[in-house]
Amino acid sequence: MRYVGLMSGTSADAVDAVLVEIGPDGRAQLLASHPHPFPADLQAAVHELSHADAINIDRLGELDTALAEVFAEAVRELLRQSGQTASGVRAIGSHGQTIRHRPQGQYPFTMQLGNPSLIAERTGITTVADFRRRDMAAGGHGAPLVPAFHAVQFRSPEHSRAILNLGGIANVTYLPAGLDQPVTGFDTGPANTLLDQWSRRQRGEHHDAGGEWAASGRVHDQLLSCLLDDPYFRVVPPKSTGREHFHLDWLEESMRRLGDHPPPQDVQATLLALSARSAAQAIHQFLPSVDEVYLCGGGCHNPQLVGSLRRELGAIPVRDTGALGLEPDWVEAVAFAWLAQRTLASETGNLPAVTGAQRPVILGGIYPGGLQNSGLRTED
């Protein structure tokens, strides 16, 4: 069974599109991948709405449609490059573009854009989307959702592993060696989001390539301590967070409290130290039995961040998921292809021990494509 997975993270720099085959054991094999770039104006609109206090409803609706057009284009290009026809794909699993995630409060909600009806119409392929809200309806945070996939793909009876995703936000999955022990996971805090935001503001660069700018600065210890004092880092899992919490106003407020504005490169070095230390501290504090860590996500390409993590984790070996058979750039996109398969099979996709939901639930909504792959009979 072949599926397409689509993932767009908080950086909104590209849509990760993958073609996968899922075997009888539930494990996924990556067949093809395509990083589809975001148009610059669309990326700017996503960043603006993700941090806006007030949102224009017309702009929200337009962005929902514009994102879906890009997602559909990413699918078509993936299929063209791989020589795969739409009729040979059972379904698309589309995460959508998160613009707000508020799991706390009287009325918790999460919002992802990228109209799945339009994706199904443009591609002719049944599309499964809106994965997070069903878990939230069951009392969960709606995130992280990939640990269930990690458990099938990466679990070992010999080693207690942590899979650490270094996306915009860092999230960790704990895969205990004892198969009778539950899989757990949570968001540890920022990974790339603050690094990217600060780089854009100070240098007009979308990211700090290779962490070279951060390496030119020095960690400001007082600022790092102030940032690490944020209450989120002390919250006991399950927990999740996002760009709504970790943004540049949050950073600026810490600098105002200190009465100090370090040189921009020192701030970048401090933000990198924050990402590494908060993730490592979370592993040491909440997952003390971990004996190996595997990385995935865009942060794997930042040697300064990876090196800092290795120092913070001490004797725990750190590799990337390529050592386990799945390249780190594509893990999350593959996970949403896998979740689409679960939904169509009427199988649950969340882990209550991870999200805090009251029970396992079937995730997402199904938007039929052409009759040839929608699962519907022609007479229907």
Q: Write out the chain's pLDDT in tens, 380 residues.
A: 899 999 998 778 899 999 999 999 999 999 999 999 999 999 989 988 887 777 899 999 999 999 999 999 999 999 999 999 999 999 999 999 999 999 988 999 999 999 999 999 999 999 999 999 999 999 999 999 999 999 999 999 999 999 999 999 999 999 999 888 999 999 999 999 999 999 999 999 989 999 999 999 999 999 999 999 999 999 999 999 998 899 999 999 999 999 988 999 999 999 999 999 999 999 999 999 999 999 999 999 999 999 999 999 999 999 999 999 999 999 999 999 999 999 999 999 999 999 999 999 999 999 999 755 544 433 33
Cα torsion through 130, 135, 140, 142, rounded to 10: -30
Quote the Cα angle for 25-335-37, to 5°.
140
DSSP H or E run through 380: none
Three-state SS across 287-343?
Answer: CCCCCEEEEECHHHHCHHHHHHHHHHHCCCCEEEHHHHCCCHHHHHHHHHHHHHHHH
Burial 166-183 (b: 16+ CB within 10 A, else e): bbbbbbbbbbbeeeeeeb
Q: Which amino acid is at 190?
A: P
Tell whether pTM > 0.75. Answer: yes
Amino acid at 255: M
Summarised one tens digit per residue, pLDDT across range 218-227 is 999 999 999 9
Could you please report the per-residue DSSP string of 141-192?
A: -----THHHHHHHH--SS--EEEEEESSEEEEEEE-SSTTSPPEEEEEEESS
Q: What is the pLDDT of residue 376?
A: 43
- Phi/psi of residue 41, nearest 5 degrees: -70, -35
pLDDT of residue 380: 34
